Structure 1
Amino acid sequence: MLFQVEMKVNLPSDMPESQATEIKATEKAYSQELQRYGKWRHLWRVAGSYANVSIFDVKDNTELQDIISRLPLFPYMEISVKPLCRHPSSIRDDDS
C-alpha cells in the first residue's frame, strides 16, 4: 500500500544543539535505511520549512504506524497520512 505522509518538525527551542544534532543524524540514518529497503520510496523537502512530503510503500496501516513511530523525530512532529491508490490514467507500472 502506498501512503503520502506529510511531516512537520517542531523541535523545542530550548533543546540543546548537541541533542538536536544527534537526533537528526539518527533520523537520517534510519530514513536512508528505509529508503534502501524500498519502504520509504520518495522523500521531498518542503521549501521554506522544516517539513517533508514522503511516499511510503508498506504492507498495511500497522506497518506504516510502526515505521513512523520509530522515527527519532516522531515526538516532535505533526504528521498527516493519506492512503493512495493507482490512478487508472497512470502510465507507470511501479506506482501501485
Structure 2
Amino acid sequence: MLFHARMDVRIPHDLDPEVRADTVAREKAYSQELQRAGKWPHLWRIVGEYSNISIFDVESTDELHDLISGLPLFPYMDIKVTPLATHPSDVRATDGV
C-alpha cells in the first residue's frame, strides 16, 4: 500500500541544543534504515521549509502508523497522510511497465 505523507517539523526553539542534535541524528539514521528497507522509497524536501513530502510503501495502515510514530521527531511533527491508488491513465500501470 502506498501513502503520501507531508511532514512539517516544529522543534521548540527552547529545546536543549544537545537534545535537538541527538534527536535529529537519530531521525536521520531511522529514516535511512526505512529507506534501505524499501518502506520509504521517496523523500523530498520542501524548499524553504522544515518539511518533507514522502511516499511510504507498507503492508497496512497499522504498519505505517508504527513507522511514523517511531520517528524520533514525531513529537514535533504535524503530519498529513493520504492513501494512494493507481490512476487509470498511468502509462506504467496500463502498459505493464
TM-score when normalising by structure 2: 0.92
Indicate the percent of aligned positions where both proteins have the same amino acid.
Answer: 57
Bigger radius of gyration? 2
User: How far apart in 2 are the matches of 1:70 and 1:44?
Assistant: 19
Which residue identity lines up with residue 36 of structure 1 in the other structure? Answer: R
SS in 1 for 2:35: helix
* DSSP-derived class of the 2:79 partner: strand
Look up the match of 2:27: 27
User: Number of paired residues?
Assistant: 93
TM-fit CA distance, 1:91: 2.3
Tell me the distance in 1 between the aligned counterparts of 2:44 and 2:92: 20
Q: Where in structure 2 are there 5+ consecutive unaligned residues?
A: none
For 1:75, give the aligned amino acid.
P
TM-score, normalised via structure 1 length: 0.93
* SS of the residue 2:41 aligns to: strand
Rounded to whole Å, the distance in 2 between the matches of 1:45 and 1:18 is: 24
CA RMSD of aligned residues (A): 0.8
Partners in 2 of 1:34 and 1:7 — Cα distance? 16
Residue 51 of structure 1 corresponds to 51
